[in-house]
Amino acid sequence: MDIIALAVTFALAFFTSLAITPLVIKLAFKLNFVDHPGQRRVHQKATPRLGGLGIFIAFLAGLSYALTQIELPLGILAGALIIVVTGLLDDRFSIRPIQKLFGQSIAAVFVLIDGPIINTLTVPFSDSAIVISPYIAVPIAFIWILGITNAVNLIDGLDGLAGGVSLIAALSIFTMAIMTGNMAVAFMVIALAGGLLGFLFFNFHPAKIFMGDSGSLLLGYLLAVFSVISFKQVTFVTLIIPIIILAVPIVDTMIAIIRRKLNNKRIMEADKHHLHHKLLAMGFSHRATVLFIYMIAAFFGIAAVLFYTSGLLGSTIIFLFCLLMTELMIEKLQLINTKYRPVLATLNRVRAATVTGERNR
C-alpha cells in the first residue's frame, strides 16, 4: 500500500538522520569542517558545518526502501552526489563561485540527460497544446535548477532557516505529487522531508551543526528538480506552482540582485539586507525570525495547493493576492531600499484623501 510504503520511507530517513547527525558532528570537528564566527555570521562560537552529508545519507536511507516500490531516475541521484561533493569542497576549502557553478552545471546536465523536464505547454483558455522544442526546454530547465539551487543557498543565514523552509517546500511538493499521481516524486521528496526533519532537531537555534553548502546546495538542487518533474505537460496553472512553492528563496534572491544592482554592487557581493537580516534588525529574536519566515513559506505552500485546485478565477485571485502580499512585504521591510514604497505610498495617499474628504463633508 502506497501510504504505508511512504510512511516507511519517511521513517527510515528521519531516524537515520537522528542517528547519523551526532556522528557527523564529531567527524566535522575531526576533519575541520567548522564555521567560525565573523562579521557576517550570526553565531558566536565555532560550529561544525557538515550537516549536508548527514541529510544526504538520510535521504539515501529513505530511498533504499523506496527502490522496492518504484524506479528512481539515476540522473537525479548522480546529480545529487555531484552537488554534495561540490558543497563539501566549498565547506572545507572555500572554492571560487565559478567552481561551485561548474559543479552545479554538471549536476543539472545529469538530470537533463534523461530528456527535457518540460515537453508541452497547454495554451491558456483552450484545450490545445504546443510541443516545446528541446532547444527551449533544456535551457529553461537548466537555468531553473541553477537558480533555485543558489536561491536556497542564499537564505541559509540563520539556524534552521534553510532547513525549515525547504521542509515546508518539500511537503508542498509532496502534496502536489500525490494529487497528480507522481509516486516517484512523492517517494523521493518524502525521503528528503524525513532527513530534513531529523536534521532540524540539531540545526534549530541554537544549532549544534550547520548544513553548510553541501546541505543548502543539495536542498536547492533537489527541490528545483522535484518541483517541476511532476509536470511534463505544463499548463498555465502548473507553470506557476513551483514558483509559488519556492517563493521565499526566489523572492529573496531576486530582491538581492535588484538591490545590489541599484547600489552599484556586484551581484555575488554579500550583504546583510536579506529578509532574515531585516527581521532581526526590527527586533525579532533569532527563533522568532525563523518561525516568521516559516509562516511565510507555509502561506505560499498552501497557496500553491489552492492555486492548483481552484478554477481559473480562483487561481487568478490567489496569484494576485500572493503578488500583493509579496510586494507589501518588500516595501514594509525595505528589502530594496528605504525609498521604494509605490504601493504603500499609494495607500497612504488614498487614506489621506479619504480623511480629507470626510472632513470636508
* Known binding residues for Mg(2+): 153, 213
Length in residues, the chain: 361
Cis previous bond, 134, omega within 30: no
Of 213, 222, 180, the closest CA to residue 63 belongs to: 222
Binding region = 153, 213
In the chain, DSSP finds a helix count (H) and a strand count (E) of 14, 5
324, 347 contact by CB (below 8 A): no
Q: Which three cell numbers stand for residue 250?
A: 526566489
Q: Which three cell numbers stand for residue 78?
A: 548522480
With H, G, I as helix, E, B as strand and everything else as coil, classify residue 120.
strand
Provide CB contacts within 8 A for 65, sequence distance 6+.
Answer: 5, 8, 9, 12
247, 168 contact by CB (below 8 A): no
Provide CB contacts within 8 A for 96, sequence distance 6+.
Answer: none
How far is the CA of 218 from the CAs of 37, 177, 359, in angstroms?
24, 20, 59
Q: Which three cell numbers stand for residue 42?
A: 550570526
Q: Tell me the torsion sign for CA atoms 43, 47, 52, 57.
A: negative
CA distance 171 to 186: 9
Burial (CB count <10 Å: 0-12, 13-18, 19+), residue 285: exposed
How far is the CA of 158 from the CAs of 109, 114, 147, in angstroms?
31, 36, 21
Of 48, 43, 90, 34, the closest CA to residue 217 belongs to: 90
